Structure 1
Amino acid sequence: MKLIADGGSTKVSWCLICPGEELLYFSTEGYNPYYVDSQYIHQSLHKALPAKVPREAVTEVHFYGAGCEPSTEAVVIAALRALFENAAVSVGSDLLAAAKALLGNEPGFAAILGTGTNTCLYDGKQVIQSIDPLGYMLGDEGSGSYIGKKLLIAYCREYLPLPLRQEFLSVYGLTKEQIMERVYKDPLANRFCAGFAKFVHQRLDDEFVYRLATDAFHDFFRSLVCHYPGYAGYTLNCAGSIAFHFEDLLKKTAAHYGMATGKIIQDPIQGLADYYRQQGAVKIE
């Protein structure tokens, strides 16, 4: 019995693969090991796992997640091994998961635009080049947290046109002081900022909002995509909620930089599930 997970900082999508039975899909909150520790992940998953998931019967757990790198993967491994004592556990980046779901065994360019941002060149098996997105404080251009942060800056500095300021206050009821408190003291501030991308998406017919979102995607290309050698020779393949919901604007921005668009998907979990259904038992060290 295999348990597959793919997630970002906000949400993790899971699939339980049991031979001869239908796939069981479910979701939990996101777990980025840069922002949460093993105990947090363990406690959250312990509460969130559906009763239909027999923890003792799971033999493999393959977890792909935001922030899962060699320096941080031990945080996630410890939490998963404590929950699934009979399972071999592997942890990889959400970027590799997205590349597999988007490109399969074909080489190309793959990216994530969700709560955070990530980009890479993929050789059909592994990520071979990736520019560090630097996280929501220094980078993550084009992501939900980046778009939300641009909106919060405009609101707090009173650049946001008055009708939009009034709408924002009506929807969220947040003062500048409350926003500053959340951004600088909340351990999950990236998720807080990303929550405001919905406000932007719902108001793209407003000139100011449209320009704000457009600028965020231009920053994504200028700061990340355009720094890959020969980037325009690849298609833009992208996974994540921001890529999915802002697809038209993302395609338009890609065309501006001479890049055709390939696949845009919201969630890679189905592609990953199909991949692991076709695999035999995997030995994980």
Structure 2
Amino acid sequence: MTVIADAGSTKIEWALLGKDSRCSLRLCTRGFNAAQSHTDRLVEIIREDAPALLGDATGCSTIYFYGAGCIGERCREVGSVLKATFAAETAHVDSDMLAAARALCGSEPGIACILGTGSNSCLYDGRRITANTPPMGFILGDEGSGASLGKALLTGIFKRRLPQNLISLFTDRYPEADKAEVIRNVYRGERPAAYLASFAPFLKEHIGIPEISRLVTDEFTRFFRMNILDYDNARALPVHFIGSIAHHFAPQLRRAAADCGLTIGRITQAPMDALIRFHGQ
């Protein structure tokens, strides 16, 4: 048996492949970011949110865990915890960026990007990642992400840089989100990036309003300029995307790419179907 996990800050999608390499179980749990949370949190999520997976997969041969924040020593730590939790023979832990590259590009060269709660990108030669612009997290980077879109929206609301009708719509939609509540969740909350990204649905609901469309497009333009344009041959390669933000705001993403002279390739909401095919082979 093989366990595959695609872990983001908002959710983890799990799949269990049987001996015939067919998927026998798929489910989602709460999210986990290895750069922001202790591995005890991951064990808690597995035991509380995925008892069926834990029961069926205990003693599995291999775990492939692709996760946000999984780099360097954190890969070894997460792998050790997963191997012990599932009593697995081996556990391979890699970045969610490699999952995106394998799912989007397959064996072809291209630029693979993630636009979800956070953002990331890489240059992929068809076998491995050859370059990566560090995303730097929602405070220092993550341009184009749900967290950055939420931050831009909240800044526009509370600094009154958006029209009054939009501010009123926001207040009606989120009556609890006053200044004190927002500051508490962003600066002292357990998952500030996910909290900021939770305002993305408001942007989607009102994307027809010019100021909202411009806010989203400008944020994607920042993503391309800060993360993509410095890759070798960036304008000659397809730029592919995985993530809910890319999926739901595809028109604005394509507009920003065109303005930067880039060509959009695939846009898909999640990589798991492609990862099941990849590891099933």
Is 1:148 paired with 2:165? no
Write out aligned runs for 1:1-285 (5 A).
1-20=1-20, 22-51=23-52, 53-173=55-175, 174-278=177-281
4+ residue segments displaced more than 4 Å: none
Deviation at 1:75, TM superposition (A): 3.7
8 Å CA contact retained: 2:63, 2:88: no
Stretches of structure 1 that go unaligned for 5 or more consecutive residues are: 279-285
SS of 1:209's partner is helix
Deviation at 1:13, TM superposition (A): 1.2
For residues 254 and 116 of structure 2, the distance between their equivalents in structure 1, rounded to whole angstroms, comes to 16
The superposition leaves residues 171-205 of structure 1 with CA deviations (integer Å, 9 ceiling, x where unpaired) of: 22211111111111113101100111111111111
For residues 29 and 165 of structure 2, the distance between their equivalents in structure 1, rounded to whole angstroms, comes to 36
8 Å CA contact retained: 1:102, 1:238: yes
Number of residue pairs aligned between Structure 1 and Structure 2: 278
For residues 221 and 132 of structure 1, the distance between their equivalents in structure 2, rounded to whole angstroms, comes to 13
8 Å CA contact retained: 1:13, 1:28: yes
SS of 1:149's partner is helix
Question: What is the identity, as a one-letter code, of the residue corresponding to 1:40?
Answer: R
For residues 55 and 3 of structure 1, the distance between their equivalents in structure 2, rounded to whole angstroms, comes to 7
Stretches of structure 2 that go unaligned for 5 or more consecutive residues are: none
The 10-residue stretch of structure 1 (156-165 or 195-204) with the greater mean CA deviation from structure 2 = 156-165
SS of 1:132's partner is coil
Deviation at 1:155, TM superposition (A): 1.4
> CA RMSD of the aligned region, Å?
1.4
TM-score normalized by structure 2? 0.95
8 Å CA contact retained: 1:38, 1:78: no
